[in-house]
Amino acid sequence: MAILRHDLRTLRESWLVRIWLVATALVAILLAMSNWATFPTAPLIASLLFPYLVFPWFLVVMVLGVNPVSGSRLEPLADGFLSRPVTRHEYLLAVWGARVVAVLGVYFLVVLPLVLVITLANRPAPADHVTLYGIVAALAVVALVLTFQVSLAFFTGTLLRRPLLAIVLLLFFWYPLNMVLNVFKLESFSPISLSQALPTLLRQPWRSGDADSQNLTSEVDVEELQRQAANFLNVLSGGAPPKPEAKPAFFESTDYQDFSLLRVLLGYGIPTLASVGLSLLCFCWRDL
């Protein structure tokens, strides 16, 4: 616990974390304000989560995760093992935990207030229906992806011991692989596909046969009937048909109607555990 508290204090005083907190807050507020009157609730929340899943905050998360046992920290780390009764796996898990707590702390501190404002506010945007279960599940899934990113960077830094090389390798590995997986619509493994699937998750009820689902269907049907009636009356009166409402096409894909939360949790949870486990093995079986 002492190591965890020390690393959390160090991260809290770090300029990287402070600048990231301010930058992510500004970006999230700008995204919410620019799409306030046009995006329905689910795509608007998904647009706030997009920078954490795809770009640019992946870079900050990787930099935070890749440093603990690489570069200039090796000498004081070796001295610490010799002078204190701290085992290698205790140190490694404490440092990993500190980075996860710091990343998720910034994420929830920025996103939670904005999500509450968006869901409770009376906005001029098209009607939408998100569920409490969907909001909690979406926030938890993005938190899991961030944990996986920290763990992957942690393993790469532990393996290579060179921060710059580890970051470059992660960049060349992460984005091309995500683009390939996105082609196959694999939201369980590609954050790009997951960001497109988030509106589907945000609208999911706790049970598939829930009354909320029936209410959602009826609302959509009523809106479609109203639109068709307005078009018909315009045609009869000789007026021009109304322009279709602009929709956030990226977040309104119909390819994720069979979205499975369990599949996504396994798809990111198992690699996270594997990354932490491999970091422990690599660090404990090798001399400093």
Question: What is the residue-wise DSSP string for 172-211?
Answer: HHHHHHHHHHHHTT-TTT-HHHHHHHHHHHHT--SSTT-H
What's residue 239's pLDDT? 57
pLDDT of residue 92: 83
Whole-model pTM: value is 0.81
CB 118 within 8 A of CB 45: yes
- CA atoms within 13 A of residue 229's CA, in its CB half-sphere: 6
Q: How far apart are CA 246 and CA 114, in angstroms?
A: 23
Given this model, what pLDDT does residue 160 score?
83
**What confidence score (pLDDT) does residue 216 get?**
46
Average pLDDT, the chain: 79
User: Token match 């045609």: residue?
Assistant: 235
Range of the domain at 125: 2-239+248-284
> What gap in Å lies between CA 151 and CA 276, rounded to an integer?
6
Number of domains within the chain: 1
DSSP characters over 38-66: TS-HHHHHHHHHHHHHTSSHHHHHHHHHH
Mean pLDDT per block of 10 residues along the chain (288 residues) reads 79 90 95 90 92 88 76 47 63 88 95 94 83 94 95 89 85 81 74 88 76 46 49 56 54 67 91 92 71
